[in-house]
Every structure is written in structure tokens, then in C-alpha cells.
Structure 1
Amino acid sequence: MFEVTVEDAFDFRSTEYAELFASSAATAFQHPIWLAQLYEKIVRQGGATPLVIVVRARVSGKLAMILPLVRRRYTLLRVVEFADMRVSDYVSPVADEETFARILADSRTVAAIRKLLRPYDLLRIGKLADRSLAMERLFGIDKRDSMGMSAYSSKLEPTFAGWREHRLDQSYRKELDKKSRQLNRMGEARFECVGGPDAIRTTFDALKLYRGKRFDGSNGPADLLQVPSYFDFYLAVANEGCGGFARTYAFWMNGRPIAGALGLEHRGSLLVILGGFDEAGYRKQSIGSLMFEQIARDCIERGDHHLDFTIGDEPYKRIFGGRPSPMWQIYRAGSPLGYAAHLTVEKLPAAKAFARRVREAAHGKKAKPAPVMVPPAPDEATESS
């Protein structure tokens, strides 16, 4: 019924993939632009090897499903992961529900997919949304495990005034109104959805500066925008997706960006994945909150239905009406070493600290030597927004 191959140079910008994605149950993080730029800018430069599993109808050759994966080595450990690379908040096979069910029912196809995954010590995939396709069944995994964190989405109302009334506390609405008046007294404040490569680059340079100060690695993961390959990736997504898939927002003060954000549009939702602001100059004016409020206004004016703050339990998401949805992970050991590595990350108290040392070593920071390097836990591998 199906033919399964590995096509590590698969063209995610091709017409056949665009058609598959459009009809699939996949997320914004499997969009053609996102995956094309991720494999080009990050995967090959990040110590990973592409593993793109392609399923086609045997008779017609029509594309049926894509599994965008990678192979990675952590010293002795061979790991198969989703093509996440710490930038994707939701993962999913790229297929529609009906086709995915037919693939699961075809034992030969399932066996072929599992064979192409090998060899590995550990198959590990996190960031599965609550209602995502049952990827665990494809890999012969009994159940999902909780990631211990949620994703948050705020339902948008037909009008901005209605959204504020239903999603924001009355006292907080008054507080934001006061902060907005303060900001406007400080100079020429202007919010916009940025267009054009020069303005986008100016916004991203500001984001890099602000996020570098806020996420310096002293209390959690260091900011990925400080890594050239990641900066180039986000900037490329913003430019290629401008006017459609990607929206770059900026708050300007007298012509200088004091806050910015990157969002991805997908089926009536805007997923906010990157944000930063001038904390030293405008924290008292709650510039970050004012920016999110204006992003919600822009989304409502465009006809969007949800503002998705994606994965992570930061308190501000609830303040803006975000409702939690659990996130899941799956794993399968392919060797005793893989089983031991999984237990190390999941069970030992020092596992997360150790995983952080591994990540810092990958970015050129000094780390203590270790006899066996294990992959970071999925929650430690999530970029802060």
C-alpha cells in the first residue's frame, strides 16, 4: 500500500510538501518555511544529521506522510529525535488523520519505518500536544509520559474591547492603561507589524541585545539568539515568511525598537515564539505586557481566533487569558545504554543540571568532563520565549 524511504535532502519547499502540509494535522513548526530553514541553518551546523522518513502511496507515488527527524550523538549515545533543535514548541507527523490511521493499520509500512530508525540507543521525542497524532503507536511505545509542563492559548474575541473584558482582569486593564499613558509621555511610541528586511533586521538586532541580557545562562538556559546559526535561522524565517506565515512585531520609541516579538500564523492562531524588550529602560512601563496587548489587537483585526503562547508555564500567559493544555513525551530504548541514559535524565536529582552542562559545552562554555554524555531532558531543551 505504501513505500517508505529515507530522503535526507527532501525539499520542504516543494509543491508536493506544501500540499501535504496544507491538508495535514501538523503544526506551524512543520510548515515548509520552518523546516526548510531549520534543516539548512541549524541541523547541519548543530551536530545533527538529517533523518527524513518519507512515506508515499505505492501505486501513485503521492506523498502520504513525512517524519522530519534527526540523528544526534552525545559522546557514546546514539539518539534519534524529532527535528526540533530547541526551537520548535509542538511536534507532529506531517499527515492527515485518515492517512495516518491507514499507515498505522499497515504492519509492513510500520515495520519499514521502525527499521529505518535504527540503529539508535534512544528514540526520544517531546513536545507532543494533547490532541496530536498518536506518534507513539507508530514507534511501538505503550503510552505517553507527561513533560510536567503545559502550553497556553488565549481565545480571541471578535473585538479588542471584548477580548480585554473577557480575558484580562479589570484591575490589570486599568494598570495597562496607566502604563500606556506613561509610555506615550516619554516620547513618540509606536507599535507595528514590521515589514521589509531592514526593519526586521533592526528589530532582531534589538531582540538579540535585550534577550542576551535577560537570558544570560545564570538562571536557566542561555538565549539561543546569541548563537549565530540560531540568529540566522530566526531572521531567515521572519524574512521568508513576512506577509504570511511569520509576523515580526516591534514597539518603537522615537524611532528605536524598545520591544519586539516573532509570531507564526497557523490556521487562525498566532503562535508567539520569541520576544524581548528593553528591561532597563522601560520595565516600569510594563513594555512587555503592552506589546502582548497590542499583538492581541492586531490578531483580532486580522480575524485570528487564538493567541497561542506555546509551551512553558510562565505566569504572564495566564494573565493574558491563556488556558493550559498538557504536553507529552515518548521514548524507546534501543540498547541497554539507551535505557540507562533515559533513567539518568528522568530519575536522578542532578539530571537537569547535568543536561545544562552538556548544552553549555555544545555552545563553547566550560563544562566538567563526564564519562557518558546524555541528551537533555525535553523541558530543559525548550527555548524561553
Structure 2
Amino acid sequence: MTAAAMDVRITGDWASIRPAWPGLSDLGQGIDGFIFQTRDWIDGWFATLGEAGDTEGLFAVLSQGGTDRVFLPFVVRRAHGLRILEGFGDGTADYHAPLVAHGAAFGPAEADALWAALNRHPHAPDVIHLVKALAEIDGRPNPLLAWGATPYPMSGHIARLEGGWEAWFGRHFGRETQKTLARKRRKLGEIGPVETRFARDDAEALAWLRALIAGKAAQMAGADVANGLAGARTAAFYERLTRDDPAARHVKVYALTVGGTPVALQWGVAAGRRFTNLLTSYAAGDWTRFSPGLIMFRDLLEDRFANGDETFDFGIGDEGYKARFSDDPALILAGILRARTLRGHGYVAAQHARHRLREAGFVQRLRRTLRGLRVTDRAGATDAKAEAA
């Protein structure tokens, strides 16, 4: 006997669907996924960045037997005379992936049902253009890649926190690095008392976050790198999450202080036994010779072990230190690009021309994932036939 097919409903009315949408507290409690698609993240976006007016939310829920099982948030952006479906919160979201109830199916059949529902929706987009989509979800190929996969140049990295702190620390921080950090911490202690901790209350958390944003701006000013925290709306987004998270259950602002002055700052989210590290800054000038960012990072990892986290998510980007500390393979990200209307085909053709310039190595990895998708699809069909027999 085969499982009942998923029903799909799509709405742009966030208020109507919000009560059933999983929040940060649901992660690891029957829901698998990332913080970026939770109710808390969506609420924050609507209250700040969503006020810009050039985008609107579109939310898909897949249910089975009357129970909601898969949740996918999107936005529709109006540009070039087109309605373009994108991943929700791009610019604040490191990955685009569904929230999935434990044991729920999200495979080719569900992707087909979602596509059919999008086509039936009265405000259906002209183009689907998702970037930073996970190429694999819980080790299985993301079925949305079958809509039309394109390269994405960066990956994500996750460390598995297991085996106890001392063993993990010894494995990932070489003996010389450990000695160097201890020496630099002693030198900092000669300037003033050294402390690493989370903010104690909302006022301190907000003050540290504002200092972090200012520090990040100073770091980016002298580098040829875009500052992702630039703009009042983006700052307001992170302030809202920091201020409105009850009793700081999930949002954590962390600092290394010397004589009470923060010299390295970090903002992250703890949910579902995963700590997601998102924003970091450190004092410039003479402070850099003490490596305050690395000392803070070392202490933060020890804290997360003590708090019982199972994974530490470094977020998007292929900086060398992320690969060094990650025990698992990189999270491969991909784009998903497909035209739904005749007007959308010109946009897709232009995007494909750009993607052809991307590195060939990523394309090879993406092809391997797509081959896995076809294998999974065939295996699923075989399983269904066996069950029916």
C-alpha cells in the first residue's frame, strides 16, 4: 500500500498561514530544517525588509492526511516587467531549503505537485529563480533541482560537535595554535581582565549588536568586499530578532571583552541543537596582533559543547578556516531557474548565458547530484511498485 499523495496549498496571506508555520523552537522537535525559513525569521523580514514594497511573500505548504508536513517560503519580486519567484529572505538567508516534518516525503512527486500548484495559482510568477538552494536535503538530492539547476559559486560548512570538547579541540586546533592562543590570551590579560560570554540582557545584546555592525562596516571599508549589513533595514532586521526573541532563548550575542570593552563580537542563533554562526566582527588596529576573533571563536565552540549542541553551522562561504573545522562534506548550493511563461524565457536565456561563465568544477559536482536525483527517483518508483504488489 502506497502512502497518500501530498496536497499543496499556496497563499500570499502570511497572517492566515502563520499560526501553523514552524518557529525556531520547533526545530529538532519534529521539524528538520534551518533557521532561515522559520516563522521567527519570516516575521522579522516582514517587519523590516519587507516594508520596501517591491516584493511579496508566497508560501507553500504540503500536507498529508490533513497534517502539514513540508513548508516552503518564497518571495515574488517585480523586476524587468516580470514576477520572479525567489527564496525567502535572500540577503539574510544563507540557505534556501524546506522545513520538513520528521519522516515526511519530499521527493520528485512532491516537486511535481508543487509545480502544478504554482501553475494554477492566480498570481503565479513568470520565472522561478532560486539561489542558494541546498543541492541535497538530509543526504538526498533536492527534488527542486529537476526544475532547472544552475551553478552557485559558494558552499556552506557544518562541524559536528562530538567526542567531547578536549578531544575535538585537540583535533582541530594544532598544538602550536593552542600554545599561541594561550600566549595571546595572557598578553590581553596584561591590558585588562579578559572575559568571553553571552550578553546578559536585551540592553547589552542590542548594544553589542550595534557595535558589531559598526565594526563590520569599518572592516569592509578598507576591503573590496560588499558589506552585507549595510542599510538601515538590514540592521533593523537583526535588531528585531535580538530584541523580540523571548528571554534570548535562541538569539545569542557573544563577546570577548578586555577590561569590559568588547574587542570581538559574534551574533548567532541556537535552535534544534545546532548553532548557526552568522555575524562576526573584531577590533582593528593594534588589537589584531592578539587574534581576538580566533580567541572568541575558540571559546564560543567550547560554550556550544557545554550547551549540548550537536552541530556548529559556519554559514555560507568557502573561507579556509571553515573547511578546516568542518568534519562533514561541504553543503553544496545550487541555483534553480525555470521559466513559467513566454515572457520569462528571455530572462532565463540571459541568466543561462551568465551561468556558462561559472567554474566547470562546480558544474561537475552539480551533475553528480542530478544523477543521484535520477537514481533516487527510479528507486522510489521501484519501492512504490513493490509496495503496491
1:234 to 219, 235, 238: 238
Task: Give the whole-Å Cα distance in 1 for the aligned partners of 2:8 and 2:169.
Answer: 51
Question: Which ranges in structure 2 are unaligned for 5 or more consecutive residues?
Answer: 359-389
SS in 1 for 2:281: strand
2:205 to 184, 200, 207: 200
User: What number of residue pairs does the alignment pair up?
Assistant: 345
Task: Give the whole-Å Cα distance in 2 for the aligned partners of 1:311 and 1:200.
Answer: 24
1:120 to 95, 101, 125: 125
Change (3 A) 1:11 1:308: farther
2:346 to 337, 342, 345: 337
Residue 94 (str. 1) matches residue 99 (str. 2): yes
* Partner of residue 28, structure 1: 35
Moved more, 107-116 or 251-260: 107-116
* Partner of residue 57, structure 2: 50
Residue 65 (str. 1) matches residue 70 (str. 2): yes
- Displacement of 1:161: 2.2
* Partner of residue 334, structure 2: 328
1:160 to 165, 180, 184: 165
- Displacement of 1:32: 2.4
Task: Give the whole-Å Cα distance in 2 for the aligned partners of 1:274 and 1:12.
Answer: 30
Cα deviations across residues 194-221 of structure 1 (Å, max 9, x unaligned)?
A: 1311101110121111100112385122
* Partner of residue 177, structure 2: 172
- Displacement of 1:88: 0.8
Change (3 A) 1:342 1:106: closer
Task: Give the whole-Å Cα distance in 2 for the aligned partners of 1:322 and 1:207.
Answer: 28
- Using structure 2 for the length normalisation, give the TM-score: 0.78
Counterpart of 1:343 in structure 2: which amino acid? H
SS in 2 for 1:270: strand
Aligned residues with identical type, % of pairs: 21
Change (3 A) 1:45 1:77: same
Counterpart of 2:14 in structure 1: which amino acid? A
Counterpart of 1:223 in structure 2: which amino acid? G
Residue 282 (str. 1) matches residue 287 (str. 2): yes
- Displacement of 1:69: 0.5
Residue 137 (str. 1) matches residue 143 (str. 2): yes
Counterpart of 2:346 in structure 1: which amino acid? L
Change (3 A) 1:12 1:45: farther
Residue 38 (str. 1) matches residue 26 (str. 2): no
Cα deviations across residues 326-346 of structure 1 (Å, max 9, x unaligned)?
A: 222221123222223312432
* Partner of residue 246, structure 1: 251
Answer whether contact 1:44 1:50 (CA < 8 A) is retained: no
Answer whether contact 2:91 2:228 (CA < 8 A) is retained: no
Answer whether contact 1:217 1:223 (CA < 8 A) is retained: no
- Displacement of 1:77: 4.2
Task: Give the whole-Å Cα distance in 2 for the aligned partners of 1:103 and 1:318.
Answer: 31
Task: Give the whole-Å Cα distance in 1 for the aligned partners of 2:211 and 2:301.
Answer: 22
Task: Give the whole-Å Cα distance in 1 for the aligned partners of 2:26 and 2:257.
Answer: 39
* Partner of residue 263, structure 1: 268
Cα deviations across residues 257-277 of structure 1 (Å, max 9, x unaligned)?
A: 221111112322211011111
Task: Give the whole-Å Cα distance in 1 for the aligned partners of 2:184 and 2:18.
Answer: 44
Change (3 A) 1:162 1:139: closer
Answer whether contact 2:144 2:336 (CA < 8 A) is retained: no
CA RMSD of aligned residues (A): 3.0
Cα deviations across residues 279-299 of structure 1 (Å, max 9, x unaligned)?
A: 224111001101100100100
Task: Give the whole-Å Cα distance in 2 for the aligned partners of 1:280 and 1:112.
Answer: 55
Change (3 A) 1:139 1:294: closer
1:190 to 191, 195, 203: 195
- Using structure 1 for the length normalisation, give the TM-score: 0.79
